[in-house]
Structure 1
Amino acid sequence: MIKLNNIKKSYHSKKGAVEALSGIDLDIKQGEIFGIIGYSGAGKSTLIRLINMLETPTAGSLIVDGKEMSSLSKNKLREARKDIGMIFQHFNLLWSRTVKGNISFPLEVAGVKKAERKKRVQELIKIVGLEGRENAYPSQLSGGQKQRVGIARALANNPKVLLCDEATSALDPKTTNAILDLLVDINKKLGLTIVMITHEMHVVKKICHKVAVLDKGQIVEEGNVLDVFQQPKMAITKEFVKQVTQNDEAEEAVDFVKQAHPSGTIVKLSFKGDSANRPVVNELFQQQLVEINILEGNISQTQNGAFGTLTLLIDGATHEVKRAIDFIENQGVGVEVIQDAAQLIS
């Protein structure tokens, strides 16, 4: 659905050319929810503005739904943009219009007849859950309701692609989750391709199928969300993954146990997919001649399946501890030895 080949974007400044994006390659399939995550200044907003041609690339090829966007005439580009909806961090609503008026606006611009507009607006109000708020103005709405209006407006012309530029950054956690649930529902019901620009790994974890990590204008890591969570390769990706997998209190507890039990072996288990639902620890208790204490753990759901971690303190004879670790690995569970007093791993 969206294909970027060697996309570059440079800006001119008094000090010379500034390269915002350098050699971006992405292939986003139809119906995917694709996350692009990076810190401020990484080039995320520039990238999403390129996809709907609010910015033009300095070099490279940009194809959306089979159309090379940069080669289209103004009229054809205007038509192609109807297939691309966009929602924003700060909603960008028309404050002098009601909910109905805001949703109707892109239909008016497109020249849709009044009766058809009215019908479509009511459909969209139902889709985004704003029944009863049709005649309210933006100043009378909560942040979540405003974003629902923004989503409905973006869907007005039945787009094939929905671009979300930090769409939940201005919302509280509970409202963020509600909006993300709505986007997942829309993705499933309408088959929309959704591109999520964000700096929050929670957003990626909750709704994205795939993720690309953007740093200093370059894609430094990309893959299925579950794979990236389990085995992040780059330092910046590990930082993002820690946003949703690291518990400071749990880390402090592990550090305390390290000092209190210097002769014990501490291992961190990583579960993915089917292995997250297996009673591995229970089997370990039953089959291995070691003492086991659970120090901390968590499990998260992604669109690709479950992902979890569990930290254990294992005490026992060296060869029994080694056997226990081998048993865990043979169950398809990742093992990271945090403290190895017996130097089991060379």
Structure 2
Amino acid sequence: MISIKSLQKVFQSSSGNVQAVDDVSLDIEKGEIFGVIGYSGAGKSTFIRLLNRLEDPTSGEIVIDDNDISKLRGKGLRKARQEIGMIYQHFNLLWSRTVKENIGFPLEIANVPKQEREQRVNELVDLVGLSGRENAYPSQLSGGQKQRVGIARALANKPKVLLCDEATSALDPETTDSILDLLTDINKKLGLTIILITHEMHVIRKISNRVAVMEEGRVVEQGDVLDVFRNPQQKVTKRFVEQVMGDRDQDDSLQEILTHYDSGHILKLHFVGEKTNQAVISEVAKQYDISINILQGKITQTQKGAYGTLVVHLTGEESVIQEAIQYISATSVKVEVNPDAS
């Protein structure tokens, strides 16, 4: 669906060149929700603006449905942009227009006949859950409702791709979840490819199928969200996973907990997917003559399944403990024995 090869963007200034996007290559499948995460200055917002040519690439290719939009100009570019919707952090609504008029604005520009335009707008009002608010003005709407208008407007021309640039950053957590649920629903109903730019791992965790991590203009890590949660490779990725899993706080408290245990073994267990629902600890307690004390645990859900960690303390005969550890390891649960929490 989308193939990005060796994409680069260099901004020129009086103080020298700034490499905002540096040799980024990605393949994004049709109908998936693909997340791009990075801290401020990572280049992610410039990257997404390159995808709909709000910024011109310095070099590289952006191919969408076999159409290299990086080479388009004039009428061809305008037509390609109609197939790429975009929603923004601060909504970018026309304050003098109603909900319906905001949603219908792209259709006006495209010279869609009035009757067809009104039918499409009514469909979108219903799709984004704004029935009864279609004649309200932006100043009369909540933040979440404004973003729903922005989403409906982005869908007006029936795009193949929806770009979301920090679409939930201005919203409270509850409203963020409702907007993410809406995007997931739209993705399923319309088969729309969604590219989501954010600095919040919670957003990636909740709805993305795959994720690319950006730092200093480059993609430093990418993969299935569940795999990235389970085994982050880069320092920046580990920081993002900590946002959701609370690993740093857990490690601090675990370090304190460990000072109270000078015998037995501490195990840190990593559960992935269906294994989070397995009663591994209960089975171990039944089969082996050891004592098990649960010290700490956390489970989080992703689109591809659950990921969780559990810290337990085992006491008993050393040989029996080792048998129990082997049993747990054989279930494909990743086991760290006497983990270093420092």
Tell whether the structures are fold-level matches, with TM greater than 0.5. Answer: yes
Show structure 1 runs of 5+ residues with no match.
Answer: 341-346
Alpha-carbon distance in 2 for matches of 1:164, 1:253: 37
Secondary structure of 2:30's partner? Answer: coil
CA distance in structure 2 between the aligned counterparts of 1:33 and 1:97, rounded to whole angstroms: 31
Give the % identical residues: 57
Structure 1 contact 35–195 (Cα < 8 Å) conserved: yes
The secondary structure found in structure 2 opposite 1:299 is strand
Matching residue of 1:177: 177
Per the TM alignment, residue 321 of structure 1 is displaced from its structure 2 partner at its CA by 2.2
Q: Which region of structure 1 is more displaced relative to structure 2, 280-289 or 46-55? A: 280-289
CA-to-partner distance for each residue in 1:153-181, whole Å, 9 max, x for gaps? 00000001000000000000000000000
SS of structure 2 residue aligned to 1:150:
helix
Q: 2:314: which partner in 1?
A: 314
Q: Which residue of 2 aligns with 1:263?
A: 263
TM-score by length of 2: 0.96
Structure 2 CA distance for aligned equivalents of residues 287 and 312 of structure 1: 17
1:322-333 equivalences under 5 Å are 322-333=322-333
Contact map agreement 1:264 1:339 (CA 8 A) in 2:
no
Inter-partner Cα distance in structure 1 for 2:247 and 2:60: 42
2:245 aligns with 245
Partner of 1:68: 68
Report the CA distance between 1:257 and its aligned residue: 2.1
Task: Give matches, 1:25-64, under 5 Å.
Answer: 25-64=25-64
Is residue 268–residue 339 contact of structure 2 (8 Å, CA) maintained in 1? no
Instruction: State the match for 1:284 in structure 2.
Output: 284
Aligned partner of 2:18 in structure 1 is 18
Question: Structure 1: how far apart are the matches of 2:76 and 2:294?
Answer: 61
Match of 1:93 in 2: 93
Distance 1:298 1:126 in 2: 38
Give the Å deviation of 1:227.
Answer: 0.6
- 1:260 is paired with a residue whose SS is coil
State the shift of 1:262 in Å: 2.4
Q: In structure 1, what is the Cα distance between the partners aligned to 2:339 and 2:200?
A: 31
TM-score, normalised relative to structure 1: 0.95
| Partners of 2:70 and 2:23 in 1: CA distance | 16
Q: Distance in 1 between matches of 2:320 and 2:25?
A: 48
Task: Pick which of 5-14 and 156-165 moved more.
Answer: 5-14
SS in structure 2 of the partner of residue 139 of structure 1: helix
Give the root-mean-square deviation of aligned CA atoms.
1.3
In structure 2, give the amino acid aligned to 1:29: E
Counting only pairs closer than 5 Å after superposition, residues 199-210 of structure 1 correspond to structure 2 as 199-210=199-210
Distance 2:249 2:17 in 1: 46
Report if the CA contact (8 A) 2:187-2:193 is conserved.
Answer: yes
Tell me how far apart the structure 2 counterparts of residues 7 and 319 of structure 1 sit (CA, whole Å).
56
Deviation per CA, 1:111-146, whole angstroms, max 9, x where unpaired? 001001111111000000001101111111000000
Deviation at 1:265, TM superposition (A): 1.8
Code of the aligned partner of 1:189: K
Cα drift, residue 103 of structure 1: 0.2
Q: Does 1:297 align with 2:314?
A: no
> Closer, same or farther in 2 for the Cα pair 1:313/1:60, shift >3 Å?
same
Would you say 1:108 and 2:104 are equivalent positions? no
Rounded to whole Å, the distance in 2 between the matches of 1:102 and 1:273 is 42
Q: Which amino acid aligns with 2:259?
A: Q
Measured after TM superposition, the shift of residue 81 of structure 1 is 0.6
Cα distance, 1:281 vs. partner? 1.1
- 8 Å CA contact 1:253–1:295 kept in 2: the answer is no
| Residues 221 and 290 of structure 1: CA distance in aligned 2, closer, same or farther (over 3 Å) | same
- Runs of 5+ in structure 2 lacking a partner? none
Q: How far 1:30 moved relative to its partner?
A: 0.2
